[in-house]
Homo-oligomer: A and B are copies of this chain.
Amino acid sequence: MSLLIVGTVAFDAIETPFGKTDKILGGAATYIGLSASRYLKTQNLVSVVGEDFPQEHMDLLSNRGVDLNGLQIKQGEKTFFWSGKYHNDMNSRDTIDTQLNVLETFDPVVPEEYKNCEFLMLGNLMPSIQQRVLDQLPNRPKLIVLDTMNFWMDHFWDDLIEALKNVDVLTINDEEARQLSGEYSLVKAAKKILGMGPKNLIIKKGEHGALLFNHEEVFFAPALPLEEVFDPTGAGDTFAGGFIGYLAKTKDISFNNMKRAIIHGSAMASFCVEKFGTERLKNVSDDEIESRLNAFIDLVQVEMHL
């Protein structure tokens, strides 16, 4: 296996209709790592924090098997901070504050012992940083998954297009797929995006599930209808972590196994939203995960008489 995760480790302050948090542990790589840790004993991390990042958070990651040799700690600087407020429908949010801090000058350095990773998860980051990680790997990993967002499409289009050329799986949401392709229909959008380089495309539709496309096939994974979405922060990253964690564990990157991986990712994400931040991910049990996976299967189970 050997999974390398690149992404932010951050502080988040979150407000939802259900409450408000102070600065809590956040960041794409954090969610990816906590989620993937359900599938893997060890994972490698390339990221950056400031000297204000508490030992307690590092211990949490460490205890989950996340190796921290690739985590740069910048003395005299502060950790990336994001603060946001969700609207009542939980599908949209306003960014209240973004303090890039250590991210502003982040130059990723891949430790020697990480360089032969087989699975690479490029979490949502500036595309040129994602590319700089790729450039340091002597051999192409078996599977490269890249997550990105509309912000990079708005401001770093060319870099993003360049990064996409090397990707096995691109994960974006429906609005981003429309923006990236200029097509409203997700089927047409997928065709265009697959023409840009990614061999597979996952379109995340939040409470409406996720679509997986390659050039020949399409698969739809539902989202579990939930009584309550408490805090959607990190759900997409948790999804990605479960997805690549499962693939790295099973060492099978076929389309059929990606289908399974998407159900695993969806199940992990469905836990993530039940509490603030990483709270629920930290204590979810194996039995709960298995029973959640079964709920996903049952949800669409139908025996047709054709």
A positions within 8 Å CB-CB of B: 88-90, 184-188, 205, 208-209, 211, 218-222, 225-229, 256, 259-260, 263, 290, 293-294, 297, 299-306
Q: How far is the CA of A228 from the CA of B303 in the complex (A)?
A: 28
Q: Residues of B contacting A259 with CB < 8 Å?
A: 302
A227 contacts across to B, CB distance below 8 A: 185, 187-188
Q: Assess whether A209 is in contact with B222, with CB atoms less than 8 Å apart.
A: yes
A299, B300: Cα distance in complex, Å = 10
Q: In the complex, what distance in Å separates the CA atom of A208 from the CA atom of B174? A: 12
Q: What is the distance, in angstroms, from A86's C-beta to the closest C-beta of chain B?
A: 12
Residue of B nearest to A183 (CB): B227
The distance in angstroms between the C-alpha atoms of A69 and B100, with both chains bound, is 72
Q: Is the CB of B222 within 8 A of A222?
A: yes
Residues of B within 8 A of A88 (CB): 184
Interface pair B220/A225, CB less than 8 Å apart: yes
Chain B positions within 8 Å of A219 at CB level: 299-302
For the complex, what is the distance from the CA of A22 to the CA of B54, rounded to whole Å? 68
Question: Given A294-B306, A305-B260, does the pair A187, B218 have CB atoms closer than 8 Å?
Answer: no
How many angstroms from the CA of A155 to the CA of B221 in the assembled complex? 38
Closest CB-CB distance, A185 to chain B, in whole Å? 6
- Taking a contact as CB atoms under 8 Å apart, the answer to whether A222 and B185 are in contact is no
Q: Report the separation of the CA atoms of residues A303 and B302 in the bound assembly, to the nearest whole angstrom.
A: 13
- Is B222 within 8 A of A302, CB to CB? no
List chain B residues, Cβ under 8 A from A256.
Answer: 302-303
Docked Cα-Cα span, A209 to B205, in Å, equals 12
The 17 listed contacts between A and B (C-beta, < 8 Å) are: A89-B184, A90-B184, A185-B226, A186-B225, A187-B226, A208-B208, A208-B209, A209-B209, A209-B222, A218-B225, A218-B299, A219-B299, A220-B300, A221-B302, A260-B303, A260-B304, A263-B304
Which of A88, A208, A225, A259 has the most B CB atoms < 10 Å from its CB? A225
Can you name the residue of chain B whose Cβ is closest to the Cβ of A305?
B260
